[in-house]
Structure 1
């Protein structure tokens, strides 16, 4: 499990998810497109969700637990980017199954 930090606020996420989120976030910011990032809070920490405004001046940091990174899933990046481009902002969505990718679903 890696972490995504905004100043003193930190969320712990799977390294694979973080790698895909990083691609989407960097792409949006490279285009100078601010967005809202929303994630759910673990029930052990009080439950609920957090939304964070992310713009070009936002300081954020990604730390991976693992040194290696596996191949990225273009379909997942596309799904995450679709949420980032929506009025609700970037939300974590499940990685599409390989069968769904092959079938074009």
Structure 2
């Protein structure tokens, strides 16, 4: 499990999810955009939902357990990016809800 460190708090995500979030978050922040990010918490930490506000001056760190970048699912990436554009903000949904399509690289 990797983690996203935000304002001295660490939130765990598997490396595959974190790789997709990294792309979406960095892309929005480098364009100076602020947004909310929300996800369902696992039962081990009490369940519920967590939501954070990300802005270009946020103190973020992405830590991956593995040394290799996971394959990127283009449809899941687009689904996450679209949610980040919405008024609800970036909603971390499981990959199973997005059809599998490899990200094309040019």
Is the structural similarity TM-score above 0.5? yes
Normalising by structure 1, we get a TM-score of 0.87
Output one character per residue of 1:20-58: Cα deviation in whole Å (capped at 9) or x when no partner. Answer: 000000110111110001122222222111111000010
Unmatched runs of 5 consecutive residues or more in structure 2:
none
**Alpha-carbon deviation of 1:13?**
0.5
Counterparts in 2 of 1:50-89, with a 5 A limit? 50-89=50-89
Task: State the secondary structure of the residue aligned to 1:12.
Answer: strand
Q: Corresponding residue for 2:99?
A: 97
Other-structure match for 2:31 = 31
In structure 1, C-alpha distance between the alignment counterparts of 2:51 and 2:71, rounded to whole Å = 28
The answer (yes or no) to whether the contact 2:39–2:93 under 8 Å persists in 1 is no
List runs of 5+ in structure 1 lacking aligned partners: none
Partner of residue 5, structure 1: 5
TM-score (norm 2): 0.87
